[in-house]
Each structure stands twice: as C-alpha cells, then as structure tokens.
Structure 1
Amino acid sequence: MAASVSSLLSLSWASTFPKQSVAPNSMAVDSSTASRPSTVNAYACTTDAIFNEEGYLKRRPILLGVGSLATTLIPASFGYAEEVPKNYEAFVDLSDGYSYYYPSDWREFDFRGHDSAFKDRYLQLQNVRVSFLPTDKSDIHELGPMDEVISNLVRHKFAAPSQRGTIFDMQERTVNGKNYYTFEYELTSPIFARTAFATISIGNGRYYTLIVGANERRWRRVRNQLKVVADSFKMLDI
C-alpha cells in the first residue's frame, strides 16, 4: 500500500512540473548581437560567474521521471523521440522549448542568469548550463555568417576584459528544419584557463545558448563526453 501511495504522489507531482529529467534508456524528445546591450550584459554575467564561486547558488529540486511514466510526460508533437545514450540523462523543458543530455552522475544546481544547469559532483567548473534571451529573429542565420557570429561571441561576449578567447572549431547542423551552431573555444587569463563547447540557436522567439565545459587541464579527458552534451541540444516547438 505504501508503494502505491508513493507512486500516485509521484504521478501527481509529475503532471504539475513542466521541466523534468528523463532517466537513461527511456524515450526522450527531442549571430550580430553587438546592437543588443541586454545580450552583452547577460554574457558578461555568465563569464564572471564561471570564475566566481558566487555563481554557484542554492540548488533547486528536480523532478526525476522513471521508465514509462517519464515517456508519457513528453508529447509526441515535439518532433521525434530517441533513446538516451548510456550514462546520460535527458533534461526536457516543455515550457521554454528545449532539451539536452547531461552525464547521469551530474547534479542540478542554480547558476546565476541561467534557466537550467548541471555540474559534476566534485568539480564545480565541469558543468553545463542553458540560458536564453528574447529576440525578434526567427533563425540563427539571420545573425550573419557563422564564423563572424562565433568570433564576436567568444572574443567580445564570452571573454572578460582580462581573458583571451581562442576558437578551435565550429560546426553547423540542421535538425528537423532547425539550425544550430556548435563551437569549441578556450578562455585564458594570466592565472586560469577553461575550455568549452557552446551551442547557439534561435527559435520560439528566443536566442538559446548552451555552454558545457571544464578546466583546461581536464579537457582532453572529458572532451568527447562533453561533445555529446553540446550536440544533444534541441529546440522544441512551443
């Protein structure tokens, strides 16, 4: 009887929250910004938080969907379903229109100025976070050529005044008619270096940014794992 009551409560809570994490092996659904002062300010806060312990705020609780229950909470109208890779979980935000994978042993936390974030249990700078800003554009191509957009972001938005931004690689992909730019970059200062992947896209009247990275010294060890996260980001129709 206790197990039945617990199951019913879980189902009731699940129907209340639009954001959820989907357990592994279940089914998951799936730039000229210089003229936007609000964009500059938001990215400046992001960069400051990476190197500032105060960027890690109090964690908020997360709903964990399990098995068939998690599957039924994701409407089929969001494009397509796929199996979550082994050792990853899927975060799905039905309200704000996006999803992505993160390593299953990471935990959720609040990151200032971001809509969702997960981090390694022991290494705080090894994390993924997603933010978005309102925009009147409808596609990432409207921002300009990919190389110009990414160069502007890394060197003038992501990098703080004391940092140097270096871009290693940039790629474009299209999924279900939606376009994404994903790029690998490094931010270095006199005392610290951090390497990351970022994925940017535009849809639902929002300019989305996912950043997943680690301390430069650990980058070679975790690069492939974090590339899965960067490539998994998808916009959902809302």
Structure 2
Amino acid sequence: MKNIKFNPFKYLFLIFLCLTLSACSGGLNAGLEAYQSPDGRYAFLYPTGWTRVKVDGGPEIIYHDLINSNETLSLVISDVNKEVQLEQLGSPSEVGQTLIDKVIAPEGSGRNVKLINANQREASNHIFYDLEYELNLNEKARHELATVVIDRGTLYTFAVGTNEERWNKVDGMFSNVIESFKFLI
C-alpha cells in the first residue's frame, strides 16, 4: 500500500474548487425567489429583494424592487368562458395588440405603446403567448415582458418591467421570470 502524504495546498485548492463550482450552480435562477399561490395552483419566480404590495382593485399580485421602485411584476387574473382556448382569442400579435388597445394604452390614456415581439410557446401542456412591449408613459420610456395563458376558464396575464435605462441589465433575468410561470395542479 502506497503512503499518501497530506498536502495542504492540494486540500485548499479542492476547497476553492468546490466553492467555485457551488457558486456557479445557481444557473438561470440565480437571484430569483419562488412564489406559489396559496391554493397551490400556480407558481413563478421573482427577483430576490423585491417586496409584495397590495393594491385594492388592482392586479392579484404585485411585486416591486425596493431600490428601483419602477421595476414591477404583476399578475392579473380574469375569468373567461371555460371552453375558450388561448388560440381562439387570436395570434400572439393579435392578443398583444388587444392588450395594448384595451388595457395598457386605451384611447385617451396618453400612453404610447409598441408591441415589439410576440411568440407562442408550449410548456406543461399549456400554450403561452410571450409578449414584449416598449412603452412611453408621461415622457418616461419603459420596457415590459408579459406572458398570457388560459387555464380552466381563467386568463392569467403575468408581466414584469423596468425603465428603458435599466433594461439591458435585467432583460435576461426578466425573461427567466416570465418563462417561470407554471401551473402545479
């Protein structure tokens, strides 16, 4: 049997390697926390450090960043006919434009909104429409991502956005947030 000598430098190197690899293992969800609805129906990720706020008569869920308070996440839940499928409401672009016309920037709101991207994806046996908007609200430029999905007669509109100046710093994380929305039951 060979006599193995203890080498403190190799030992320190192995510890350093393990710590480095574990720090990198956060992957796509690094900096995100999980939320699950009280009934266990749906879940999503939101940025670490954001806080939940309640608004009477507003969206079901709102989170915002404490430091950059114009960075927000919202979930709006609406009832639809139980027989309606998302595709019946129109293509991703048509649904995105309907959201602009009826919700985000209805006539007379003074808001200027442009749909810059609209895609369809499938996840967990659901069709999602992923939308990207540029908004001009009272001379302030914003960028928002949203996803729209129908489940059991309920329309979910999940959105996250920030000002245009910060967009390039958070766009990847916000994409992960939008794609994290899922149904559990």
For the aligned pair, the TM-score class normalised by the smaller chain equals: 0.7 to 0.9
Which residue number in structure 1 is paired with residue 175 of structure 2? 227
Which residue number in structure 1 is paired with residue 139 of structure 2? 191
Q: Structure 2: give runs of 5+ residues left out of the alignment.
A: 1-26
Which residue number in structure 2 is paired with residue 122 of structure 1? 67
Q: Structure 1 segments of 4 or more deviating over 6 A? A: none
Report the AA paired with residue 150 of structure 1. G
User: Which structure has greater strand proportion?
Assistant: 2
Q: Is the 8 A contact 1:132 1:208 kept in 2?
A: yes
Q: 1:139 aligns with which of 78, 85, 107?
A: 85
Q: What CA deviation, in whole Å up to 9, does each residue of 1:148-167 have, x standing for no partner?
A: 11112124421152011111
Normalised by the length of structure 2, the TM-score is 0.76
Q: Is the 8 A contact 1:155 1:165 kept in 2?
A: no
Within a 5 Å distance, the mapping from 1:25-64 to structure 2 comes to none
Which residue number in structure 1 is paired with residue 161 of structure 2? 213
Change (3 A) 1:196 1:169: same
Q: Distance in 2 between matches of 1:206 and 1:178?
A: 12
Higher gyration radius (CA): 2
Q: Is the 8 A contact 1:186 1:196 kept in 2?
A: yes
Which residue number in structure 2 is paired with residue 59 of structure 1? none
Change (3 A) 1:115 1:219: same
- Among all aligned residue pairs of Structure 1 and Structure 2, give the percentage whose two residues are the same amino acid: 26
Q: Is the 8 A contact 1:88 1:104 kept in 2?
A: yes
Q: Structure 1: give runs of 5+ residues left out of the alignment.
A: 1-82
Report the AA paired with residue 151 of structure 1. Q
Q: 1:180 aligns with which of 121, 128, 140?
A: 128
Normalised by the length of structure 1, the TM-score is 0.60
Aligned residues between the structures: 155
Q: Is the 8 A contact 1:194 1:213 kept in 2?
A: yes
Q: What CA deviation, in whole Å up to 9, does each residue of 1:10-48 have, x standing for no partner?
A: xxxxxxxxxxxxxxxxxxxxxxxxxxxxxxxxxxxxxxx
Which residue number in structure 2 is paired with residue 90 of structure 1? 34
Q: Distance in 1 between matches of 2:47 and 2:137?
A: 28
Q: 1:157 aligns with which of 90, 103, 112?
A: 103
Q: What CA deviation, in whole Å up to 9, does each residue of 1:160-212 have, x standing for no partner?
A: 52011111111211112111101110111452221100111111221101110
